[in-house]
Chains A and B, each alone.
Chain A
């Protein structure tokens, strides 16, 4: 079974530009989560999508946004890039099950560097 995939692997942008990151969940998973992992910091929750709707967002400015497509893949957009946006962006997916709070499975991440 294929895991969570993310593209691109690396992305280099300059300050003020926009970045688009993509994620495909595990087949059958409807929930997609985005996390930011900056150097020296832990994973910080960004966004949660389920069934095409944004369900929750973390403490990040509105220039971080995204969407989920009918096939449950997702896109994270970061506008007006700032130097401190440089981080590893991780996507995770989760299957609905009888146990509501079950595990999330992570992709390999996209390394975003802002110059």
Chain B
């Protein structure tokens, strides 16, 4: 069964304290891995798409990387405004199915 597991469930950082969030996935054939940011009560905001092991994407203080079994979202020198829940999702294996399978997310809190 296709599965996405994110860790840790929650992470508290001090402003400027860099860290990484993990997303491990179990799919027989990866068709795309996506990172989203979600603020409370709002819809997920798209951050990155990764397709191949070794691929990296960067945006401001965020950098996403992909291996054959997991993805990392690295946050460098975070600010309080980076506080949010970060979601990882994949398209599952099997033809004709384009639903995204989401992990439960990592809730990040950055204290000033």
Contact = CB atoms under 8 A, between A and B. Distances in A.
Report if A and B associate in a common complex: yes
A94 B32 CA distance: 14
Interface in B36-58: 36, 41-46, 49, 51
A101 B99 contact: no
Interface in A60-109: 88, 90, 92, 94, 99-109
A102 B99 contact: no
Interface in B48-87: 49, 51, 87
A80 B36 CA distance: 32
Interface residues of A, number: 29
A108 B43 contact: yes
B96 to A, nearest CB: 7
Given A42-B103, A43-B87, A103-B49, A108 B42 contact: yes
Given A102-B32, A104-B100, A109 B42 contact: yes
Interface of A: 4, 6, 31, 33, 35, 41-43, 45, 48, 55-56, 58, 88, 90, 92, 94, 99-109, 111
10 contacts: A33-B98, A33-B100, A42-B104, A43-B102, A45-B101, A56-B96, A92-B100, A101-B32, A106-B43, A109-B42
Interface of B: 31-32, 34, 36, 41-46, 49, 51, 87, 89, 91, 96-105
